[in-house]
Amino acid sequence: MRWEGNEQSDNVEDRRDEGGGGGGGFGFGGRGIGIGTVAVALIAGWIFGINPLTVLGLLSGGGGPAPQVQQQGPAHKPPADDREAAFVSTVLKNTEVVWSDIFRQSGGTYRPPKLVLFRGATPTACGTGESAMGPFYCPGDKKVYIDLGFYDTLRNQLGAPGVFAQAYVIAHEIGHHVQDELGITGKVDQMRGRLSQTQNNAVSVRVELQADCFAGVWAHHSQQSKQWLDPGDIESAMNAAQKIGDDALQRSAGRAVVPDSFTHGTSAQRQRWFSTGFKSGDLRDCDTFAARGL
């Protein structure tokens, strides 16, 4: 992906120098969650949850003191010479352009979200966001949160290298914001209280696969207008989708594959829905809620 030199977004908020890291790398502050819980939470809330904060809340019993999170100063932008931040900002800008066009074409207005770079832990309208959860979107404040250390995890631990795999991560989270903008998130949340755990998991899978499909829609239009992808880029995103399928994660954690516990979809499903969005670039092909087979 030839992203250098392209326009960057003004919507990146850099909180990386605001502490809350706790020094241990996981940033669990005073809540006292052991490494076992961390490992389980990593699998359960792993990567791109719409609100993985609930996962840690449940695992830690919900009680106990809240993690120490420092007060925030005024929002500021990342330094201009920070290459990784520049990459994120460039991809974010392109999602703003693409989604604004798509919304405009159907008579709507896209309100772009903020993207927060943080380390360790940071306050969000969804509770304390922590690095170990992986990147996530909080509908309460309409912000995407990412600790860029996640890209190392993606590359080195999950075996998904490639700059376009990193772009896919952002595009997936933006996909959750698009769901929010379209009113899908609100409808799903209304429904959740009436559902069993298994049914809720099934709904989560459809939410996540739709975000993958939306990421594909973005990739389609992005490539059409910028022609900035190289051979292998789409493959690197597809590989990332494969590596973070629920079945792949359960297997790599040495556990039995339990379809009822899936919250994001299998590797094959994640690849299929990204690919569906990428091929047509049409939002209407992303109705995972109406789809019989996923």
Would you tell me which residues interact with Zn ion (CB under 5 A)?
A: 48, 208, 211
Q: How far is the CB of 138 from Zn ion (least distance, A)?
A: 12
Identify which of residues 33 and 215 has a Cβ nearer to Zn ion in the complex.
Answer: 215
Identify which of residues 211 and 213 has a Cβ nearer to Zn ion in the complex.
Answer: 211
Token digits for 151?
Answer: 């890209």
What is the SS3 assignment for 131? helix
Show Cβ contacts of residue 160 under 8 Å, excluding neighbours closer than 6 positions. 154, 236, 239, 240, 243, 244
Q: How far is the CB of 105 from Zn ion (least distance, A)?
A: 25
Identify which of residues 208 and 247 has a Cβ nearer to Zn ion in the complex.
Answer: 208
Taking CB positions, which residue lies at the least distance from Zn ion?
A: 48
Beta strands in 53-188 (DSSP E): 114-117, 121-124, 127-130, 136-138, 143-146
Degrees to nearest 5, angle at CA 77 with 111 and 171? 45
Q: How far is the CB of 174 from Zn ion (least distance, A)?
A: 10
Residues 274 and 286: their CA atoms lie apart, in Å, by: 9
Q: How far is the CB of 52 from Zn ion (least distance, A)?
A: 9
Say what the alpha-carbon torsion angle 4, 48, 259, 190 is, to the nearest 10 degrees.
Answer: -130
Q: How far is the CB of 59 from Zn ion (least distance, A)?
A: 19
Identify which of residues 158 and 211 has a Cβ nearer to Zn ion in the complex.
Answer: 211
Hey, which residues does 116 pair with through a beta bridge?
Answer: 13, 145
Q: How far is the CB of 213 from Zn ion (least distance, A)?
A: 11
Q: 18-43: b or e for each residue (b if 16 or more CB lie within 10 Å)?
A: bbbbbeeebbbbebebeeebbebbbb
Q: How far is the CB of 46 from Zn ion (least distance, A)?
A: 10
State which amino acid sits at residue 82: D
Residues 105 and 232: their CA atoms lie apart, in Å, by: 31
What is the SS3 assignment for 14? strand
Identify which of residues 48 and 274 has a Cβ nearer to Zn ion in the complex.
Answer: 48
Total Cβ atoms within 10 A of residue 167? 29
Identify which of residues 77 and 142 has a Cβ nearer to Zn ion in the complex.
Answer: 142
Identify which of residues 29 and 45 has a Cβ nearer to Zn ion in the complex.
Answer: 45
Q: How far is the CB of 208 from Zn ion (least distance, A)?
A: 5
Identify which of residues 211 and 283 has a Cβ nearer to Zn ion in the complex.
Answer: 211
| Nearest partner of 124 among 49, 60, 192, judged by Cα | 49
